[in-house]
Structure 1
Amino acid sequence: MTLSLLTWRRQVSELYAEVRAADDPEAGWHTWRTGRDALLAGHPDSPLGTAARDAFTGLPFAPYDPELRFVVPVDTDVDAERREVPTAADGVVVLDRIGRVTLGDVGRLDVWWIGGYAGGLFLPLRDGSVGTTTYGGGRYLLDTIKSADLGSAGGRLVVDLNFAYHPSCAYDPRWTCPLAPEGNRVDTPVAAGEQLPPGGWY
């Protein structure tokens, strides 16, 4: 299990490195989609349950929209906030709010730092599509501790809503995940990124 998970982490890291190296963001997105499909379909640590994996033909995605890619500064003038999120596998995940980003008409989202060894940036999103076309707990935009990192440019953070993806708990109830806190919830539907299949995954 441990060595298998290591290969998953390596492949995700390599996949996002390819995305960051792409000259065209949409081409990088296609590479990412192909890689995610391959991981969920064939990797032993796929979050899909057995029945869903047997029937898997690919993740449903909204078409790429270049208007939903942002390169934005992180506003660090925010009140400190700490959240401790219990999970089944990782114990308590500590989240510290370190700033906010503003993403056009979608609005402002809190940016979090995941505590623990090394740590990482965490940017979840729960938008107006939840419960219909996307998972009720929301999706992730960035989770750098797991290598989901689109990079930066000129000191600004790259946040591309086309790369929104579901956490593991969307695929099978055996997983628990940190979900979007209040400051990462918006009413605007975001018609981008990974979608749910009809009826969901379980």
Structure 2
Amino acid sequence: MTGVTVSLLDWRRRMAALYAEVRADRDPESGWLRWRAGRDALLAGHAESPLTAAARAGFPGLPFAPYDPSLRFVVPVDTDVEPVRLGVATTDEGGVVLHRIGRVTLGEVARLDVWWIAGYAGGLFLPLRDGSAGDTTYGGGRYLLDTLKGADLGGDGGRLVVDLNLAYHPSCTYDPRWTCPLAPEGNRVDAVIAAGEQLPPGGSWY
């Protein structure tokens, strides 16, 4: 393997291990604090950090809204939805294909489509673009789950743990060299969801 491949493998392993720690913590807010600290450490010091070298040099940690326990949900996936296939262009390997496999209802906050990323092994993908996009959060939205990259909060019996406090920005937020799958129409809500990762003062990392 090349040095880049080994480095990326290490990033993936560390991120998966971090989410495993969150799932194992019986106190959701404690798990959230552990997750924040782990992400800050990876973004500040890992070779695969999406932050530019300049941003890493003075990195103060990611800004977050305060934890709100009412924004954590354990919900069933409603699979009675019309199948939808989306092709999303990215900078690596030509893009990804998303298949809509269901929908989750997060109380009165949001109803979001659940996607499966096609390809070898595949993975669950749950993006969100709320009313804060373009203001206090990235204009293209944030991610809640991306199990292909280790971002998995768990669940059982067809239910998913979806915690809006763990909404995080995709790599393209930190550096324009990245292209990320963004929130499709069924993952956009008008209401401002005051939770999760926020943009830094000034609104940009670069």
- The TM-score with structure 2 as length reference comes to 0.96
Deviation at 1:57, TM superposition (A): 1.1
Deviation at 1:105, TM superposition (A): 2.2
In structure 1, the residue matched to 2:109 is: 106
Structure 1 vs Structure 2: percent identity of aligned residues? 77
- AA partner of residue 69 (structure 2): P
In structure 1, the residue matched to 2:74 is: 71
3-state DSSP of counterpart to 1:87: coil
**Counterpart-to-counterpart distance in 2, 1:50 and 1:74:** 40
In structure 2, the residue matched to 1:24 is: 27
In structure 2, the residue matched to 1:92 is: 95
In structure 2, the residue matched to 1:198 is: 201
Unaligned 5+ runs, structure 1: none
Q: How does 1:94-173 map to 2 (within 5 A)?
A: 94-173=97-176
Q: How does 1:180-191 map to 2 (within 5 A)?
A: 180-191=183-194
> For each residue in 1:150-202, what CA deviation from the matched residue of structure 2 results, as whole angstroms up to 9, or x when unmatched?
00044311000000000000000010000000000000111000000012112
- AA partner of residue 26 (structure 2): D
What is the total number of aligned residue pairs between the two structures?
Answer: 202
**Counterpart-to-counterpart distance in 1, 2:198 and 2:142:** 10
**Counterpart-to-counterpart distance in 2, 1:136 and 1:95:** 20
**Counterpart-to-counterpart distance in 2, 1:153 and 1:143:** 17
In structure 2, the residue matched to 1:9 is: 12
**Counterpart-to-counterpart distance in 2, 1:186 and 1:154:** 27
Unaligned 5+ runs, structure 2: none
- AA partner of residue 41 (structure 1): A
Structure 1: 4+ residue segments shifted above 4 A: none
3-state DSSP of counterpart to 2:108: helix
**Counterpart-to-counterpart distance in 2, 1:80 and 1:7:** 35
**Counterpart-to-counterpart distance in 2, 1:90 and 1:68:** 35
> After alignment, is 118-127 or 46-55 more displaced?
46-55
CA contact (8 A) 1:138 1:166 kept: yes
- The TM-score with structure 1 as length reference comes to 0.98
- AA partner of residue 115 (structure 1): A
Deviation at 1:90, TM superposition (A): 3.5
CA contact (8 A) 1:71 1:153 kept: no
**Counterpart-to-counterpart distance in 1, 2:63 and 2:49:** 16
